Amino acid sequence: MSSKRIYHQYCGLAAALDILGERWTLMIIRELLVRPRRYGELLNNLPGIGTNLLAERLKFLVDEGIVAQVEVDGSRRQAYHLTETGQDLRPIVLGLARWGLHHLEDYSSEYSVRASWGLLAVEAMIDQDRVSVDEQYEFKIDDETFHIDVSDSVVHVIAGPAATPSVTVKTDAVTFVQIGAQKLSPLAATVTGKLSLEGDANAVLRACALLGLEADPLAAAAG
Amino acid sequence: MSSKRIYHQYCGLAAALDILGERWTLMIIRELLVRPRRYGELLNNLPGIGTNLLAERLKFLVDEGIVAQVEVDGSRRQAYHLTETGQDLRPIVLGLARWGLHHLEDYSSEYSVRASWGLLAVEAMIDQDRVSVDEQYEFKIDDETFHIDVSDSVVHVIAGPAATPSVTVKTDAVTFVQIGAQKLSPLAATVTGKLSLEGDANAVLRACALLGLEADPLAAAAG
DNA sequence: CTGCATCCGCCTCGATACTG
DNA sequence: CAGTATCGAGGCGGATGCAG
């Protein structure tokens, strides 16, 4: 009956995978790391998942104390969000995403892409050891706007526009992920008109360095 | 046909899970993070895996460049070991193991345990920000011996005995994991004879602090 | 005996239909 | 919009077979 498939090993990794290891589970958590989501949003951002599976996974994650439901501002609509325990998974999911970026194949139309994944891609790419001056870099990826804030040598990725951005990056989601996966250089994307960079040239170089990208001088000059 | 179940998303996490997300895959990698393993060792340390699945997973991981086969010293016996790309997964697997340790249930006999998992548990528990003096702590868990080496404020976990250990810990695998999961305090394990601590009392306290354990004065006094 | 391959029953998964 | 119910397809687990 309720014989869920678990590993039966007294080991931290086995315990983690007993909770997170099934198909779609970490993808759901990825979605909730960006922001709280409604059921329909999750369905839309996870093409291929069965509606029953999504409901079952959410119920399980709520039982495990990783996800909770909240009322959305007065209406009776509900949304799912990560508890503190769930937020603890952020560095793990970002680590997996960074590792996986290097294994992405060339883009083809059979892939689906969402702009909001760019936010997590940026977080995954950031090299905390390469912080230089305090400033902000704004990203407009399709309809999503967010920014990197460097203050007192601490880096944060924050939803919404920046107050005083040194650089503003504008592109589409596919181009952005291709750059993150090193399939496309910022220079190549700029000259083909897929990417626009506005702001101080040196700030562009610092942003590239922070994200581990080729600090291409020509890409900066194009801004 | 060869329609492997993948996510079809242009995203780093999806790419990572397309490779690592299937059942048993990360458990195999955990085994290879401890040391290179022969096929039979893997079968023995992964109770419940089908022999066909293990063979299939290994073949896939070799194709992906994460695992490679090596000749074991002259004999024609082969062993599997992680490539550099595979070793890059160490912080991720350790992060999952650390997260999962907090979700372990009480031990029961239906769990299997292996002493070698203690080595990874130690690595997962280490808090790099709590390094104090340079010294070595030796662990003898069942038939496995390894040690933590702190040199110039850098921590390494190394197989085999320590040259000059400040502390020697001796216990069984179940007790060790229970302590790591905070189900059992070092003190309680010591007074019941499950754990023996030899060495300088203050070094024991430093070792506990490094591993994020209650620095229990009585446990140190019992050494 | 080790290192796999083959076969088969079962359970998870994915798609569609259906309900409040 | 937010799920629940149902059912075919395929991944998984265990037993068995077989070659070096």
A residues 136-175 lying closer than 8 A (beta carbon) to B: 173-174
Partners of residue B82 on adjacent β-strands: B67
Task: Report pLDDT for B72.
Answer: 67
Residues sharing a CB contact under 8 Å with residue A155, sequence separation 6 or more, in sequence order: A126, A128, A131, A148, A149, A210
Mean pLDDT across chain A: 91
Q: Using CB atoms, which residue from A10, A15, A97 is nearest to B12? A: A97
pLDDT at residue B96 in the model: 97
> How far lies A219's CA from each of A9, A133, A195, A201, in Å?
51, 20, 10, 9
Angle, helices A12-20/B117-125, rounded to nearest 10 degrees: 80
Segment A90-118 mean pLDDT: 94
Q: Nearest residue of B to residue A7 by CA position?
A: B48
Q: What pLDDT is recorded for position A33?
A: 96
Per-position pLDDT tens, chain B of length 223? 446 899 999 999 999 999 999 999 999 999 999 999 999 999 999 999 999 999 999 999 999 999 999 876 655 668 999 999 999 999 999 999 999 999 999 999 989 999 999 999 999 999 988 888 999 999 999 999 999 999 998 999 999 999 999 999 999 999 999 999 999 999 999 999 999 999 999 999 999 999 999 765 554 555 4
- Give the DSSP per-residue string, A81-129: EE-HHHHTTHHHHHHHHHHHHTT-----TTSB--THHHHHHHHHH--GG
C-alpha A121 chain-centroid distance = 4
pLDDT digits (tens, 9 = 90+) for A189-202: 999 999 999 999 99
How far does B90 lie from chain A, in Å, by closest CA? 10
Asked if B100 and A13 count as a contact pair (C-beta separation under 8 A), the reply is: yes
Cβ of A38 less than 7 A from strand C: no
Distance of alpha carbon A189 from alpha carbon A176, whole angstroms: 9
User: What is the gyration radius of the CA atoms in chain B, in angstroms?
Assistant: 19
* A64 contacts chain B (CB < 8 A): yes
Interchain contact B117–A (C-beta under 8 A): yes
